[in-house]
Amino acid sequence: MIGGIHGSILHVDLSTGQITVEEPVEDVYRLLVGGRALVAYLLLRDLPRGADALSPENLLIFAPGILQGTNLPGSGRHGVGGKSPLTGAIASSEAGGWWGHEFKRAGYDALVIRGRADKPVYVWLNNGEVEIRPASHLWGQQTAPTQRAIQSELGDKRIRIAQIGPAGENGVLYSAVMHDINRAAGRNGLGALMGSKNLKAVAVRGTMKVPVAMRKQVTGVAKWLGANYRELAAWATEGIGRGTQDSLMNWGYLGGLPTQNFSEPVFEVPELLSGERNYEMFLKERDTCQACPITCKQVFEHESENPYQKLDPIYGGPEYEAMAAFGSNCDVTDNLAVAKANELANANGLDAISTGASIAFVMECFARGILTEADTGGLAFHWGDAELLVRAVEMIANRQGFGDVMAEGVARMSERFGPETKPFNLTIKGQELPMHEPRLKHAMGIGYAVAPVGADHMMNMHDTDFVSDGEGIKRVNSALPAEQHVRPQLPTEIDENKMRIFFNELNWMHFQDCAVNCHFYPYNYQHMADALSGVTGITYTIQDILDVGARAQTLSRLFNLREGFTSEDDQLPKRVRKGFKEGPIAGAEITEETIARAKRRYYELMGWDPDTAVPTRSCLKALKLDELMMDL
């Protein structure tokens, strides 16, 4: 057996209480590695075509990769997946923290949960032993008290908890699966999927060693990271940066900070939401994930007799996406209110991006007169209303009043409110756009369009990383013959040069979500090939790891095609394609012709039919998926 695995996938049926263990063939691990590729494979294999995402048939899959449990820096992550209640497409989201490491050391490579319990339950996994325990006493509780209760009940504070909050219990379609209280597998509505199964939590404790074939080779990669991260990941290290919050001021300066639902070219006061100001006002300490020397996770605290102005450090603090989604995108300048909105999202189990986007959508409906106080239960959703922002998050989580409507997400609200809202329904495949401006990063806009889960900024490339001859360009060129080497390019350009970058970087990002590794680490392709080779004992080349990413994309595409999606769903909303008349990126736009040309070239590079985006037989053979999929 190869290193990095136990050779077993745990299956739990909550309808029958049956617990079984599958021992997959080695090719499942060797070719897919874990994470998103494994999720897509299991969905294609075991989920009936057309199954309702909120039915007992749907699968909730916790999928670490081969690197989890090995103590390689950056591997403190894992994937969660299923069929998305929000979009109907594949759901795949990743979370950091400690849960994935602990789960892997409990003796299994993945967990597949199906069925629906009659009453609320949680799953307790302890070094190979599995128990389904009652959770009615936990139902309705927020994430921090739930974690404390389970750890107390089981008598071990080292137990790691994956759970849903009230939002998942109430079926909010963009609810999250929370880990270690403040790490979210946030996108695609996986919390609603988990809640539909009456599953409150999965608690894990593991002390088993994960076999590593060539420890010295893995240690070599770790030592390189230790010697270089302070320079190459300076944005995240103690005393130098403030994690992803540091980017907010930069995007504001460049015109890339979404404002008023992506309708305005400039957010005039980004300094009010900046990481610098947040740290000065709220920072208590910095946190990190398992085996990670980079303390990029901020912990905020603020004392107040007013509960809506008090920040509890147990819920961490907001990242860039939350600051932008609740802040500039809603035109809210009060950084305490924005931080509180993020805290309530973590406490209740909500995706910060979709929550902020849904509030911004309603604010625009109100500003345009499409909605009035008569429609919203007497609430005036004005741009910039900080108090309303915080209140709205709680309303959504509890499906209280108009929050019940907002809990359905932007796409469904747009259908409900009428065709006047279509121009500012900023969703792709039903999922709300992240907080990165496509008019600044054109290839990222194409990435939004083709992402299998709907608009996503992580399984994507950021054009601004390739404007100079730095680490990004070097990384891509390491995978290309000399005659195809790419060059630095403006973020608003899309030509063959940019498409070669795009193709390789998407495969790289998808690979990292199979491994599962932190995207913010300064590893290059060769580092990950060496690490995976050292863990497994199998030689992986740069092309091999990029092929893993291609398999993840191809299997996800096959699942979406099976569920009724086509290349016509790979679109980018017109608002974020049309250029602004003023501001730093005035005139920058993505034409329909550019999108059509870029999509076609992307499909060709992937080995899919350039018109339909259906993976060809030669593609499946080249990726060695033909034999693996013979039984599907």
Domains of the chain: 9-205 (3.60.9.10), 240-425 (1.10.569.10), 442-520+541-628 (1.10.599.10)
C-alpha closest to that of 30 among 101, 108, 109: 109
Tell me the pLDDT tens digit for each residue of 442-461: 999 999 999 999 999 999 99
Mean predicted confidence (pLDDT) in 327-352 = 98
Give me 78's structure tokens.
Answer: 């894992």
CA distance 376 to 368: 14
Q: What is the pLDDT of residues 131-140, one digit of tens each?
A: 999 999 999 9
First to last CA, the chain: 24
Kindly state the percentage of the chain with pLDDT values over 90: 94
- 576 cis-preceded (ω within 30 degrees of 0): no
Grouping H, G, I as helix, E, B as strand and the rest as coil, residue 192 is helix
383, 363 Cβ separation under 8 angstroms: yes
3-state secondary structure of 181: coil
Residue 251's pLDDT is: 95
Where does the pLDDT of residue 584 fall: very low under 50, low under 70, confident under 90, or very high at 90 and above?
very high
What is the predicted pLDDT for the residue at 229? 84
- Which pLDDT does position 242 carry in this prediction? 73
What's the rounded Cα separation, in Å, for the pair 252 and 410? 25
* The pLDDT value given to residue 231: 81
CB atoms within 10 A of CB 268: 12
In this predicted structure, which of 174-188, 231-245, 379-393, 535-549 has the lowest mean pLDDT?
Answer: 231-245
Q: Is the pLDDT of residue 241 over 80?
A: no
> 3-state SS string over 302-334?
ECCCCHHHCECHHHCCCCHHHHHHHHHHHCCCC
Q: Is residue 177 very low, low, confident or very high in pLDDT (cuts 50, 70, 90)?
A: very high
Count CA within 13 A, CB hemisphere, residue 557.
27
Q: What digits encode the pLDDT tens for the residues 503-526?
A: 999 999 999 999 999 999 999 999
Position 238 pLDDT exceeds 60: no
Q: How confident is the model at residue 235 (pLDDT cuts 50, 70, 90)?
A: low
**Rounded to an integer, what distance in angstroms lies between the CA atom of residue 130 and that of residue 346?**
27
Instruction: Identify the DSSP state of 297.
Output: E
Is the pLDDT confidence value at 543 over 80? yes
